Amino acid sequence: MRQKLAAGNWKMNGTGAALAELTALAEAFPAQATAAGKSCAQILICPPATLLSRAADSIKGSAVTLGGQDCHAVPSGAHTGDTSAEMLQDSGASAVILGHSERRADHSETSESVAAKAKAAWAADLVAVICLGETLAERETDDTLKVVGAQLAASVPAAATGANTVIAYEPVWAIGTGKVPTLAQIADVHDFLRAELTARFGAEMAQATRLLYGGSVKASNAAEIFATSNVDGALVGGASLKAADFEPIVAALNAST
Ligand code: PGA
């Protein structure tokens, strides 16, 4: 059975004052919640790297875990301004988001570079949360499955397992826009991704790998999205910044079957 996952991506938001939100979230979901509730979701918050080590103190004793938002493909070296997977792990992260569409667009990241970063993440004992998704133009020309299939094939290295990899489907046009695909459109893509994983890695790996939906998830639409075929959780941007917005999303995930 796949453990559900509620992931929050703070993006380039948050200074020390934002740690109060993490503390509030940690208080709402103490560690015992994970042990006691059979359907309790894993919670993963990815704050800016500058907050990670302080965030690690804020979440002690809770069900909340921490991740980075990107990493370099090598562990150390002359790469001014970059952060390695080892550094994230050392600061308290257990996962890292890779290939977010904002990285692909703003930093010209290719699926091949995402795959190299995934290997670096695994070498540092981080779970790779690999993002993919189509643009509005690609959706309108009916190229969605072709695009996400190609991204999946090239971004996910051969050594992927259900334990070291999470896939997040995030239509670019749904991120930060308030627009959400229909539930049928989400199901189409998630069913396709599960089938692609099965074809390449076999049923065991495909059944063990969490598939997240991301893009304008909020408390008001979370329950119906979580009830959609092959959706194992969400990657949430804006609505993860405030504990009061994120808590009902986690609660909806816990309540989903
Ligand atoms: P959003 O962002 O929830 O603000 O749409 C999602 C994401 O980029 O992961």
Give 115 Cα–ligand 1 centroid separation in angstroms.
22
What average pLDDT score do residues 149-168 get? 98
Q: Which atom of ligand 1 is nearest to the CA of 215?
A: 5
Confidence at residue 247, expressed as pLDDT on a 0 to 100 scale = 97
Say how far apart CA 24 and CA 221 lie, in whole Å: 22
Q: Mean pLDDT throughout 234-245? A: 98
Instruction: Confirm whether 170 is a catalytic residue.
Output: yes
Give residue 257's pLDDT.
79
Banded model confidence at residue 39, pLDDT cuts 50, 70, 90: low
Which of 136, 166, 217, 246 is the pocket-test mutation for ligand 1 (most atoms within 8 Å of CB)?
217
List the beta bridge partners of residue 7. 44, 235
The answer, as to whether pTM is greater than 0.85, is yes
Question: What is the reported pLDDT for 40?
Answer: 83
175 in contact with ligand 1, CB cutoff 6 A: yes
Query: What's the average model confidence in pLDDT over 193-204?
Result: 98
Domains of the chain, start order: 5-255 (3.20.20.70)
pLDDT band at 33 (very low <50, low <70, confident <90, very high): low
Residue 37 has pLDDT above 70, yes or no: no
Neighbours of 103 (CB within 10 A): 18
- pLDDT tens digit string along 163-178? 999 999 999 999 999 9
Q: Where are the beta strands (DSSP E) in 10-159?
A: 42-46, 64-68, 95-98, 127-132
**Nearest by Cα to 2 from 36, 30, 32, 38:** 38
d(CA 218, CA 72): 30
- Overall average pLDDT of the 31-50 stretch: 79
Which of 33 and 231 is assigned the larger pLDDT?
Answer: 231
The pLDDT-based confidence of 86 (bands split at 50, 70, 90) is: very high
- Tell me what pLDDT residue 1 has: 81
Output the residue whose Cα is nearest ligand 1's atom 2. Answer: 237
Looking at residue 31, its pLDDT comes to 86
Task: Return the best residue to mutate from 102, 130, 175 for the ligand 1 pocket (most ligand atoms within 8 A of CB).
Answer: 175
Query: What pLDDT shows up at residue 182?
Result: 98
Q: Please give the C-alpha separations between residue 46 and each of 23, 189, 211, in angstroms, as whole numbers.
A: 14, 25, 17
